Amino acid sequence: MTAQASCLYECAVMHRRLLPKRHEFAYRIFLFYLDLDELAEISNRIPFFSHNGSNIYALRNEDYFQFHSAGLRANLETFLETQGVTIKPARIRLLTLPRFLGYTFNPISIFFCFDENDHPLTSVVQVGNTFGELKPYLVPVDSITKGFHVRVAKNYYVSPFSPLDLEFDFRFDLPGNRLRIAIDDFEGKEKVLLSTLTGPRVELTAWNLARLTFKYPLITTKVIFLIHWEALRLWLKRFPHRRKEADPELQQGAFRGH
């Protein structure tokens, strides 16, 4: 019997601003790593997880960027085509936090794409903001490190305290026994913000999911609360900020979430 690819990751999240002033915070969460071909089996095995249904945890197609209503795989394949990727992935695995008690907020989700031999083809990072927008970024396999890496124009409103004309530098490995993800913000050659997401793999069982649910209660609410709490701290430190209505020409390629 083939081992299940789907699992959980118990993670530490760290953000460190370098400019214009120093500011740092960290918190702990857990994430799901789900093979799309295993969703039906997981839904049958874990009574409080569903795909496109109502449950304590629910992975819903509409919570990810969409071109049409044909499902997660079809939308991802359409996006890959817009980026010049013509090979359709044989397997797709998604790092994300499903809805909890009907509520969703994902600052970041990552689709990992594999060929028929389970070799990585590419990845797509979906960045979410508190305005209900989602923006996908193609992050290809690095031919030297064999991980995933790209530096790309941000052109997206994530925070009032981060300019839109920065560049994202995505660097991460294929999830294994540990998760290692780094996303840095650059202004020209200068790094202005460091973000990391790291943690060990945890087997996806009903017991482990229940244990982590009690260890990190109301997890999606916690994430959105911490984002607003840190925004207040930055405002009190008089960090320069800008409204979303400013610079609409620098906000490109975002989808409206549901």
pLDDT of residue 242: 77
pLDDT band at 233 (very low <50, low <70, confident <90, very high): confident
Q: Would the pLDDT of 228 be above 80?
A: no
Higher pLDDT: 122 or 164? It is 122
Single-letter code of the amino acid located at 107: P
**What's the whole-model pTM score?**
0.93
Give mean pLDDT, residues 30-53. Answer: 96
pLDDT of residue 235: 66
What are the boundaries of each domain within the chain? 7-256
Nearest by Cα to 126 from 65, 176, 67: 65
Give mean pLDDT, residues 186-197. Answer: 92
CA distances to 23, 157, 258 from 165, in Å: 21, 10, 26
pLDDT of residue 79: 96
Angle at 86 between CA 80 and CA 91, to 5 degrees: 70
